[in-house]
């Protein structure tokens, strides 16, 4: 049963990411290379790709570097926390500022609603003691931190920011940093919450 959930997760996540890539290429407003860079500038895309790679590694069970990295202690909890961040930020901040239609609507819901909830459900039924190792999990905070640094540095040169709440050109550096601090704090809170919930879930299973 677990393998079926992993295969379904793999299919949903890759379909959503690849479909969004095709849509962005078809509607690009710059050259191909710049469009590809912009595509991978979205935290949503990076994190959903992590989900897709996680399920791929789980299904294939190979011993190459990337699958091994994705099977390390705490990885499932960290990825779950970050994909939930994707969903929460979208629902609270971004959903109201645009109205996708057709395939874009379907892909949008997959990336920001279905996949976050699916990953949370998968985590709930599969979390183990090794997945709630605080040291291993908190190292993953480097992921959003490095992302923000990259976006800010690149944005200062390319004048492109993937999200309005990070757009220094529009809202100023101080406000962008403030928004970043809120998101990083939310990430930390979610990680801590999953740590405590994981302990409870494991304890209930034993009983």
Q: Are 30 and 38 in contact (CB under 8 A)?
A: yes
Residue range 138-149: mean pLDDT, rounded: 91
Determine the pLDDT at residue 154. Answer: 92
Determine the pLDDT at residue 1. Answer: 65
Residue range 112-137: mean pLDDT, rounded: 92
What pTM was computed for the model? 0.93
pLDDT at residue 123 tops 90: yes
Determine the pLDDT at residue 112. Answer: 96
pLDDT at residue 13 tops 90: yes
Number of domains in the chain: 1
pLDDT at residue 115 tops 70: yes
Q: Is 101 left (phi over 0), alpha (psi -120 to 50) or beta?
A: beta
Higher per-residue pLDDT: 63 or 33: 33
pLDDT at residue 79 tops 90: yes
CA distance 25 to 118: 27
Nearest alpha carbon to residue 81 among 123, 129, 46: 123
* Range(s) of the domain holding residue 174: 2-206
Q: What is the pLDDT of residues 55-67, one digit of tens each?
A: 998 888 766 767 7
């Amino acid at each position: 049963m677990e393998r079926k959930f992993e295969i379904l997760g793999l299919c949903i996540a890759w379909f959503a990411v690849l479909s969004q890539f095709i849509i962005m290429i078809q509607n690009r407003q710059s050259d191909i290379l710049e469009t590809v860079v912009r595509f991978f500038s979205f935290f949503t895309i990076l994190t959903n790709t992590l989900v897709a790679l996680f399920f791929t590694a789980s299904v294939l069970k190979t011993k190459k570097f990337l699958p091994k990295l994705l099977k390390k202690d705490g990885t499932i909890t960290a990825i779950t926390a970050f994909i939930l961040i994707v969903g929460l930020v979208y629902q609270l901040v971004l959903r109201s500022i645009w109205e996708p239609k057709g395939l874009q609507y379907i892909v949008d819901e997959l990336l920001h609603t279905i996949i976050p909830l699916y990953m949370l459900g998968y985590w709930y039924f599969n979390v183990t003691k090794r997945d709630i190792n605080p040291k291993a999990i908190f190292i993953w905070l480097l992921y959003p931190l490095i992302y923000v640094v990259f976006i800010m540095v690149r944005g200062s040169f390319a004048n492109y920011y993937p999200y309005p709440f990070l757009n220094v050109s529009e809202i100023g550096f101080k406000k962008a940093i403030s928004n970043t601090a809120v998101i990083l704090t939310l990430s930390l809170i979610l990680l801590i919450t999953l740590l405590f919930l994981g302990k409870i879930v494991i304890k209930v299973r034993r009983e």
